[in-house]
Amino acid sequence: MNRNVFRLGVFMVLVLAVLFGMFGCKKRTPTLPPPPPPTTELETPAPTIQLRANPEIVNYGESSTLSWASTDATEVVLKNIGKFTPEGSTVVTPTESTTYTAIAYGPGGMTRSQVRVTVVQKTETITPTTVPPVDEQALSDEEIFRTQIKDVFFDFDKYNLTPEADTTLRQNAEILRTKIPDVRIIIEGHCDERGTSEYNLALGDKRANSVRDFLVAQGIAASRIRTISYGEERPFDPGHNEEAWAKNRRGHFVLMK
């Protein structure tokens, strides 16, 4: 009987050894730590700027003060004037109604603001109240140019001349040939605000050249004409509708002094 008990004990030891080998020595799979949260880069804010004019309406020969304030900008550029600090002011004396543009540059990009200074031309009162007939022989070349040479206008995104522009340019050419044959002129090409600045500068150049080529074909010497494009930079009307845009798509005549 003791032998049977001994055998049973040995059997139980073997069974326990097998079970321990199957379950007791099993390696545990290590648990990996969670991944770190993604890092987010802070966006650099875009600059802002506000341009003001005081006063916005001046008489011819008077000055206006342009002032500006910006945020997140490192430099401010006033077009056709110069570079300035992010906040400041400067005095301008425009000879004609002018739209001024301030561009703020910063790490986050660029933005712009515009203000228009309207110039009121002073007029002299003629006494007596009865206006005498105009003696064109007594008028200066500048007076004839200012009162009789007319601008021409273009259709949207076009630089070819309309029938109305054709008629106006024939009259301008006649005046330039017969009444003021010695003056030289500048033809400015202008656009409305739609489209990029680069596109409008190119379109304004084509419009100015169309006017010049027509005048040359009418017998005006090319040496008397210079062209320049301002694109959308100098709108005649600062509005943002079709009525304003139609006025801004123009070929503008300037007397070269």
Domain residue ranges in the chain: 48-120, 139-256
For residue 153, name the pLDDT band (cuts at 50, 70, 90).
Answer: very high
| Alpha carbon distance, N-terminus to C-terminus of the chain | 138
CATH number for the domain formed by residue range(s) 48-120:
2.60.40.2470
For residue 139, name the pLDDT band (cuts at 50, 70, 90).
Answer: confident
Q: For 204-257, what is each residue's pLDDT tens digit?
A: 999 999 999 999 999 999 999 999 999 999 999 999 999 999 999 999 999 987
Q: Which of 137-141, 152-156, 165-169, 208-212 has the lowest average pLDDT?
A: 137-141
Sheet holding 225-231, edge to edge: 152-153, 250-256, 184-190, 225-231
Q: For 75-121, what is each residue's pLDDT tens digit?
A: 999 888 888 999 989 998 888 889 999 999 989 888 989 989 888 87
Residue with tokens 């990009």: 109
- What class does CATH assign to 139-256? alpha beta
Topology alike, domains 48-120 and 139-256: no
What is the gyration radius of the CA atoms in the chain, in angstroms? 39
Q: For 6-65, what is each residue's pLDDT tens digit?
A: 666 667 767 676 666 655 555 555 666 777 766 555 678 889 999 999 998 989 888 899
Judge contact between 159 and 214, C-beta under 8 A.
Answer: no
Whole-model pTM over 0.75: no
The answer for residues whose C-beta is within 8 angstroms of residue 230's C-beta and 6 or more apart is 188, 189, 190, 201, 204
* Structure letter (DSSP) for residue 233: S
